[in-house]
Every structure is written in C-alpha cells, then in structure tokens.
Amino acid sequence: MSDLPGFKDYFNLTGKVALVTGGPPLPPIQVPPHTNSPGSRGIGLHIATSLLLAGAKTVFITARKTPGVQQAVAQLNALPGIKGKAIGIPASAAETAEIEGLVAKVKEVEPKLDILIANAGATWGGPFEASPDWASKKVVDLNVRGVFNLVRLFTPLLTLAGTRTSPSRVVIVSSVAGSVVSHIGNNGTIMYSISKAAATHLARNLAVELGPRNITTNSLSPGFFPSKLASGLIEILGGESELMKANPRQRLGVPDDVGAAVLFLVGPGGNYVNGIDLTLDGGSSLTRGGMAQVKL
Ligand SMILES: NC(=O)c1ccc[n+]([C@@H]2O[C@H](COP(=O)([O-])OP(=O)(O)OC[C@H]3O[C@@H](n4cnc5c(N)ncnc54)[C@H](OP(=O)(O)O)[C@@H]3O)[C@@H](O)[C@H]2O)c1
C-alpha cells in the first residue's frame, strides 16, 4: 500500500479564486444529440462551470461584450449546489490597457489569484495570398501578445497566492492546430495555427520563468469542440457527423472533457505538473483522417 494523503482532494478547489477569459458563449447553439450538455457551448463556460462545481470561491469571467458576460454570470450563479460565485468583468484580453483595468477590478474584490485561465481566442480562415493584415493582427494580438500580457500583468496576484506546496496555476488554452498543419487552401488558418504554436511554447517558457515563484503553467490543446469559433470550420469540413467518423473516439469534444482536463491541471493533485501541453482531441491529431482508410 502507498500513502496518498492528498487523494480525496485531488480536484478540490474549495476557497480558490480563478479568472477565465472568454467565458461567455454567444450565440447559444443547439446541443447535438451525442452530448449531455445542459445548455450553451463555449470552452470558457465549460471551464468556469467546472471550477465552480469543484468548490471555487470566486470565478471571474471576462469577454468584450457586456450582455454575453452578464448572461454567462447568470447561468453560472444558477448552478445547483455551488458555494462560490461568478463575477463578470467586461474587457478585451487583447488590449494591454484593458488588461490593466481588469487586474485593478479583480483586486477590488480579491487580494490574490489562484488560477488564471487564458482561454479567449480568435481565428480567421481564408486563402493565403489574400489574407488581410488586420486578420493576422487580430489573431496574434489576442492569442499570443494578449496572453503574454495577461499572465505578465496578473503575475503579482498569482505570486501572492502560490506557495511551495500549493502553487497557483496558469492554463493557456491553445489548440491541436499549434502542433499540426490542419487547414490550408481556401479555408486555411495558417496564422491561427502559428499563433497556437506560439501559445503552447509561451506556456513552456512561463513554466520555467514562473515555476520558482510557485506558479505552474501548462497549455491545453483541444481538437474540435462545437462552439461559435469552431462551427464555421466544422461545417466547411462536412459537419459534425463527418468529423466524428474521422475521430478515433468517434465523437467530438463535450463539456465534461474540458472540465475534467482543467481540473487535473489546476487541482491540488496536479501541483507538480508544469510545462506540459495536454492534447484533448480523442486522438484525432494522430490520424490522417480519411487517408488512414485508403487501401494501397
Ligand atoms: N472550439 C474548438 O473546437 C477549439 C479547438 C481548439 C482550440 N480552441 C480554443 O479554445 C478557446 C475558446 O474557444 P471557443 O471555441 O470556446 O470560442 P467561442 O465560443 O467563440 O468563445 C470565444 C470567447 O472569447 C471571447 N473573446 C473574443 N475576443 C476576445 C477579446 N479580445 N477579449 C476577451 N474575450 C474575447 C468571446 O466573447 P466576446 O466576443 O464577447 O469578447 C467568447 O466569449 C480559444 O482560444 C480557441 O482558440 C477551440
């Protein structure tokens, strides 16, 4: 027998303070029959939900549009049985001045931050030569520069929360697009893919930079999860049923997949995990999709 004194609390977030960027799901999308999801979709909302259900005391969520933030806060605070609460703060995670304002508003409510989830992301798809410069700027400003500044400006609050035995946590929501070349041609997402490669490598750099300050940093790389951001590409690729067939697990991601993966990274049980990229795609990035079926 081994002594596992922490076992019962591996995923217990009682008393923790968290912030999730890109929390609100807009617009609500009909839930497909293969999921048991109770409602709206969007990876940030799944994450905020799991943090509250795991006992978090305060979960700040932020996005640009006030109605979306308010809608998400109302949904989260109606979760049955939670002891904590969600607080919404509208802000753009791509604008340094707005991130500074966000830090100030968080400090008005909580003196320190245990968990920072950099989830908000932007994408753009289209042919390579015609890529407008504004689209590249938008993608990099949020997915790379914004995440860099978000973590940088919250580091003082994260440092206050972290201890040697209970480090504070940063999770960067990256993408499998950061490690494979997913989409080229007419619906190419090359700059998105590059930005996610950078986001994943940013997490590794921060793991080494911030580890000695009792802050761990990891990235989470989802495959397809139906959402506003992903739905256009999912349709272009033949719809959810085609993508499900091509996935080794024969389905797309569901909210529970995200909730469980994040709790592993931010819960007490994951406190020695630092600098990893957790792929969450059912194994789909390891395949060649239809190519694997071709009989030579
Ligand atoms: N869904 C997938 O299949 C998938 C796969 C791989 C990776 N990801 C990654 O997962 C993350 C979440 O994606 P999602 O699919 O859940 O997207 P989503 O449903 O479109 O949600 C994106 C969220 O980000 C917010 N947002 C956009 N720009 C922002 C900004 N400048 N500042 C603050 N918030 C901003 C949006 O709200 P506002 O518009 O109100 O700001 C929204 O709440 C992204 O980083 C994405 O790259 C998603």
SS (H, E, C) the chain: CCCCCCHHHCCCCCCCEEEEECCCCCCCCCCCCCCCCCCCCCHHHHHHHHHHHCCCCEEEEECCCHHHHHHHHHHHHCCCCCCCEEEECCCCCCCHHHHHHHHHHHHHHCCCCCEEEECCCCCCCCCCCCCCHHHHHHHHHHHHHHHHHHHHHHHHHHHHHCCCCCCEEEEEECCHHHCCCCCCHHHCCHHHHHHHHHHHHHHHHHHHHHHHHCEEEEEEEECCCCCHHHHHHHHHCCCHHHHHHHCCCCCCCCHHHHHHHHHHHHCHHHCCCCCCEEEECCCHHHCCHHHHHCCC
Q: Is 94 in the pocket of ligand 1 (CB under 6 A)?
A: yes
Q: Which two tokens stand for residue 263?
A: 């709790």
Using alpha carbons only, what angle is made at residue 61 by residues 21 and 204, rounded to the nearest 5 degrees? 30
Probe residue for ligand 1, chosen from 171, 221, 229 as the CB with the greatest number of ligand atoms within 8 Å: 229
Hey, how many other C-beta atoms are within 10 angstroms of the C-beta on 30? Answer: 7
Q: Is residue 292 part of a domain?
A: no
Q: Is residue 293 part of a domain?
A: no
Residue owning the nearest CA to atom 37 of ligand 1:
63
Of how many residues is the chain composed? 296
Q: Among 233, 220, 229, 228, which residue's Cα sits nearest to residue 264?
A: 220
CA distance 110 to 185: 47
Residue 125: strand pairing partners: none
Q: Which two tokens stand for residue 291?
A: 């190519």
Q: Is residue 2 part of a domain?
A: no
What is the pLDDT at residue 102? 98
Probe residue for ligand 1, chosen from 64, 149, 171, 189 as the CB with the greatest number of ligand atoms within 8 Å: 64
> Is 272 an active-site residue?
no
CATH code of 65's domain: 3.40.50.720
Q: How far is the CA of 295 from the centre of ligand 1 (A)?
A: 39
Q: Sheet containing 115-118: which strands, arranged edge to edge? A: 85-88, 58-62, 17-21, 115-118, 168-173, 215-222, 277-280
Count of structural domains, the chain? 1
Q: Is residue 72 part of a domain?
A: yes
Q: What is the pLDDT along the chain (296 residues), one digit of tens a residue?
A: 999 999 999 999 999 999 999 987 655 444 443 333 333 469 999 999 999 999 999 999 999 999 999 999 999 999 999 999 999 999 999 999 999 999 999 999 999 999 999 999 999 999 999 999 999 999 999 999 999 999 999 999 999 999 999 999 999 999 999 999 989 999 899 999 999 999 999 999 999 999 999 999 999 999 999 988 888 889 988 999 999 999 999 999 999 999 999 999 999 999 999 999 999 999 999 986 555 555 55
Q: Is 282 in the pocket of ligand 1 (CB under 6 A)?
A: no
Out of 60, 148, 192, 224, the active site residue is: 192
Hey, how many other C-beta atoms are within 10 angstroms of the C-beta on 233? Answer: 18
CA distance 284 to 252: 9
Query: Is the CA virtual torsion 18, 19, 25, 31 positive or negative?
Result: negative
Q: Is residue 295 part of a domain?
A: no
What is the pLDDT at residue 26? 53
Q: Is residue 98 part of a domain?
A: yes
CA distance 134 to 279: 29
Q: Is residue 187 part of a domain?
A: yes
Residue owning the nearest CA to atom 45 of ligand 1:
121
Domain range enclosing 147 = 9-283
Q: Among 168, 173, 61, 45, which residue's Cα sits nearest to residue 112?
A: 168
Residue owning the nearest CA to atom 24 of ligand 1:
22
Q: Which amino acid is at 43?
A: I
Q: Is residue 193 part of a domain?
A: yes
